[in-house]
Structure 1
Amino acid sequence: MISKIKYIALCGLILAFFSCKKKQEYRINKNKSIVATIDSISITQNEVDLFVKQKLYDELSRIHLIRKLALDEIINKKILKRQADKQKITTEKLLQSLYDKKVNDSNIIKFSKENDFDKQGVNSIEKNIVNYDINSKKGNALLIKRFKSFILSKYIDSLKSKSKINFFLKTPTPPKTKLDQSLVHFYGNKNSKVTLIEISDFECDMCREYNPIFKQLFDKYKDDVAFGFVNYGSYVSKPAIASEVAGMQGKFLEMKELLFKENNNYTDNKIELLALKLNLDIKKFKNDFNNPDLKNKLKENYDLIHRSGIYGTPTILINYRIMHNSSSKEELEKFLVKKIKESKK
């Protein structure tokens, strides 16, 4: 009888052991989120996501933009509906009343002149962008449609200004990016926990166009933020080398601003004149400029950044996270201020 009881207890212990082991294996697999195996080698969901982290972020940002546009449209519709309900009429009648008051020859002519439609025509996206004379039937119809959209937008904005609107639509978190710190030129508060790094190219027209935006942010937040600049181009350009060499003599920021003021006029003679303007040791400048090691480092840095998912310039990183809209001062400043406040808590 005793041996039978021992046997039952032993079986129970063995079952419990294998049951616990099974549960543990399940938990491990669940935590790892294994998506594939090659014999005994496992591939996890996290590994896949890391491999395409930038592409995933780009897609999530596009989805967020679609949601944001949809949200704006829903808010507009609800605000118009509320206004129509106050007047005890339909939204259609509210808009018709608005257009009846505003759409007339005098206002349309004024609108046309303010937007140069009277000279350039009104464009319509068909197979290509086509401009129609406002005196033509199609052009006049497009002009009135454009004017109605303008009126409606102004009207909705006036209603919004009287409403308290809170947004809770969360933006996707950008992935962190690895950079070769030896080729990041920092200025501002270099000890700050908050960083804003500009991935840029002196021969990029858009980089030159947006440089004043980044300079405004630097002038405003240089005491609170470590600003940085990284040269990034599909080939190593003369101005990139010139900025790096100027940086060796402590004049990177000054050379950066001078180079952006040039309009792709980067001859050897011009670059030498810029170096003289900054009172650089011209002999050292020339020797460093022709050093092949620097060119190789810039090439390696390009490959590293490209592998991290950055394909264009200018790209802004705040705390090493890619900002989706690097050209919007408002969005960059909003996120930057948030990080500055968090760093001071």
Structure 2
Amino acid sequence: MIKLLLWVFAVTCFSCSIKNGSEQEVLATFDGDPIVFHDVDALIQPELYESLFNTYYARKLMAEDLIKEKLLLNEANKQKISKDSLVQQIIVGSSISLSQYVIQNNLDQGIPDSAFPGRLIPTDDAEGKKKLSKLYREFCVERFVTLEKGKHKIQVFLKPPLTPKIDLSEIQFHKLNSVNSNNVIWVFSDFNCARCKAFFSTLVSLKSRFGNSIEFRYTSLTDFPTESTQLAEFAGVNGKFWEACSAIFRNGDLRNSDVPRILETLQLDSENFMCYVANQQNGEIHKKNYEKLLALNRFQVTPTIVINDRIYYGDLSFSRLSEYIKNSINEAH
């Protein structure tokens, strides 16, 4: 019952926190002592934050759809035509033809079927033609709307949930770039985790997008040192942690026979690596780091992304993460 009340209270507070974004806003008092957002947020379980992020994304998506609708109706009224006629006009006048769209989006072999992953719907049958027509229509309209937005004063005041800050001052990490910044993206990951491997391409894109202004950190979130973590840690000692990460994640499942090849690629000495692995002190350091993370009671899945000391519970796509990172930077300033 207490958890249910906390959940209802959290969702109610969320609507307010989206609006003002203040952790110190007073929600209640007890004998004059204030209870603020941060006090409540510290009690909310991680899975509830995922729900809050989903609520935020749903609201944002609906707001964007309403803006799109207003832009289309505004232009249609201006031209004294229906919205459907305007959409058809946009499609006909698109500078990118349907055939170019197909090539640019690698749809010449078929359209991915969301209901059956791995299945491609041929673009020359009735179902494929219908889906392709819809995709192309959405593409043309989105391009038009993007251009039209610059002609209007549009403001979106929704903000993503502000999760509690956590103290990571005692956690060891490797830097993935040479930038020193107050803005930090910290990845807690596992080389043997399928989701982490899938996320790595997004991490590469984020590093390319923000790597010149934001500090990137990485910590292995495993309960014991694996061959992959030992290889990465050894490379880190020699200033090549990011290169090792790239090699390991792109290699797939690391086998014993892969290690000498990666060491050679990174120009690292194999005998020194064996000495590093044999040193039990390195394993103890890894174990203590993992125990400190567990004690925080916030690191339950991999990958976990922490942005400016706040765990990110949202979608791990490049676009969603980029949006959240930019918002975090603005909040910091």
The TM-score normalised by the length of structure 1 is 0.66
Post-superposition offset of 1:82: 1.6
Larger Rg: 1
Change beyond 3 A, Cα 1:327–1:312 = farther
Q: In the alignment, what sits opposite 1:119?
A: 109
Change beyond 3 A, Cα 1:158–1:246 = closer
Change beyond 3 A, Cα 1:326–1:304 = farther
Q: In the alignment, what sits opposite 1:154?
A: 143
Residue-by-residue CA offset, 1:301-341 (whole Å, 9 max, x unaligned) = 4454355333444433232112345553633652464367x
| Residues 194 and 318 in structure 1, CA contact (< 8 A), matched pair in contact too | yes
Residue-by-residue CA offset, 1:29-48 (whole Å, 9 max, x unaligned) = 68577xxxxxxxxxx99877
Cα distance in 2, alignment partners of residues 280 and 129 from structure 1: 39
Cα distance in 2, alignment partners of residues 177 and 234 from structure 1: 21
User: Which amino acid is the alignment partner of residue 210 of structure 1?
Assistant: T
Post-superposition offset of 1:258: 2.7
Cα distance in 2, alignment partners of residues 139 and 284 from structure 1: 57
Corresponding position: 1:82 with 2:74: yes
Change beyond 3 A, Cα 1:140–1:335 = closer
Report the number of matched residues: 294
User: Which amino acid is the alignment partner of residue 109 of structure 2?
Assistant: K
Which segments of 5 or more consecutive residues in structure 1 lack a partner in the other structure? 1-25, 34-43
* Identity rate, percent: 23
Post-superposition offset of 1:60: 1.4
User: Which amino acid is the alignment partner of residue 188 of structure 1?
Assistant: S
Post-superposition offset of 1:280: 6.7
Q: In the alignment, what sits opposite 2:44?
A: 52
Corresponding position: 1:286 with 2:274: yes
Change beyond 3 A, Cα 1:292–1:152 = same
Structure-to-structure mapping, 1:33-52, within 5 angstroms: 49-52=41-44
Corresponding position: 1:305 with 2:293: yes
Change beyond 3 A, Cα 1:232–1:259 = same
Change beyond 3 A, Cα 1:134–1:326 = closer
Q: In the alignment, what sits opposite 1:236?
A: 225
Q: In the alignment, what sits opposite 1:72?
A: 64
Q: In the alignment, what sits opposite 2:186?
A: 197
Change beyond 3 A, Cα 1:219–1:237 = same
Cα distance in 1, alignment partners of residues 109 and 309 from structure 2: 47
Corresponding position: 1:258 with 2:258: no
| Residues 187 and 304 in structure 2, CA contact (< 8 A), matched pair in contact too | yes
The DSSP-based 3-state class of the residue aligned with 1:188 is coil
The DSSP-based 3-state class of the residue aligned with 2:185 is strand
Corresponding position: 1:317 with 2:306: yes
Q: In the alignment, what sits opposite 2:178?
A: 188
The DSSP-based 3-state class of the residue aligned with 1:168 is coil
Post-superposition offset of 1:107: 5.2
Change beyond 3 A, Cα 1:181–1:245 = farther
Cα distance in 2, alignment partners of residues 45 and 163 from structure 1: 35
Post-superposition offset of 1:86: 1.9
| Residues 325 and 331 in structure 1, CA contact (< 8 A), matched pair in contact too | no
Cα distance in 2, alignment partners of residues 32 and 61 from structure 1: 26
Q: Compute the RMSD of aligned alpha carbons.
A: 4.1
Change beyond 3 A, Cα 1:27–1:261 = closer
Cα distance in 1, alignment partners of residues 66 and 241 from structure 2: 49
Post-superposition offset of 1:244: 3.0
The DSSP-based 3-state class of the residue aligned with 1:183 is coil
Cα distance in 2, alignment partners of residues 169 and 232 from structure 1: 33
Post-superposition offset of 1:117: 4.3
Structure-to-structure mapping, 1:155-174, within 5 angstroms: 155-174=144-163
| Residues 179 and 304 in structure 1, CA contact (< 8 A), matched pair in contact too | no
Change beyond 3 A, Cα 1:100–1:47 = closer
The DSSP-based 3-state class of the residue aligned with 2:201 is helix
Post-superposition offset of 1:237: 1.6
Cα distance in 2, alignment partners of residues 144 and 189 from structure 1: 46
